[in-house]
Amino acid sequence: MKDYHTTPVALAADHGGYALKEAIRAHLEAKGIPYKDFGTHSADSCDYPDMALPACQAVTAEQCSCAILCCGTGVGMSMCANKVRGIRACCCSETFSAEFTRRHNDANALCLGGRVVGEGLALSIVDIFLSTPFEGGRHSRRIEKVMAIEQL
Ligand code: RB5
């Protein structure tokens, strides 16, 4: 994952994740962390794949360091993200998974459910996801095997 201090974080949401995306946007803004907002820009009903795809493509094009994707459950966003070649997305509702999906899976997309996690917990998950490095070592071999699956 590229340095999130210098390469923008891709943010995206549907209507179910809009309020949480806005809270995360304000949180990143307050911390001086650059971001690119792929929408949605209101609470009007929309379709999560429409926002997930460009946000994930910005990550694989290395224009963004990682993606933070919010929908009602986080599940639809994670389904979309994991279909984009080069994306390793994890849907998190607690901090342990957020830490270890960075340490062990080198995840480059975090998915959150705006109807599942409260704002305070979500912001802690975001902070841990962004600040935790990949451990490498034996996990690099496993990531290579994970990425080989999408070539089949
Ligand atoms: C929208 O109602 C909802 O289905 C969506 O936000 C998400 O939870 C899908 O996985």
Name the residue among 66, 63, 67, 64 with its Cα closest to residue 12.
67
Q: For residue 40, give both structure tokens.
A: 């949605």
Q: pLDDT tens string for the chain (152 positions)? A: 899 999 999 999 999 999 999 999 999 999 999 999 999 999 999 999 999 999 999 999 999 999 999 999 999 999 999 999 999 999 999 999 999 999 999 999 999 999 999 999 999 999 999 999 999 999 999 999 999 999 99
Instruction: State if residue 48 touches ligand 1 by the CB under 6 angstroms criterion.
Output: yes
pTM: 0.98
| Residue whose CA is at the smallest distance from ligand 1 atom 6 | 72
* Angle made by CA atoms 70, 73, 74, in degrees to the nearest 5: 45
Q: Rounded to whole angstroms, how far apart are CA atoms 34 and 17?
A: 20
Would you tell me the crossing angle of helices 119-131 and 18-31 to the nearest 10 degrees? 50
Other CB atoms within 10 A of residue 149 CB: 7
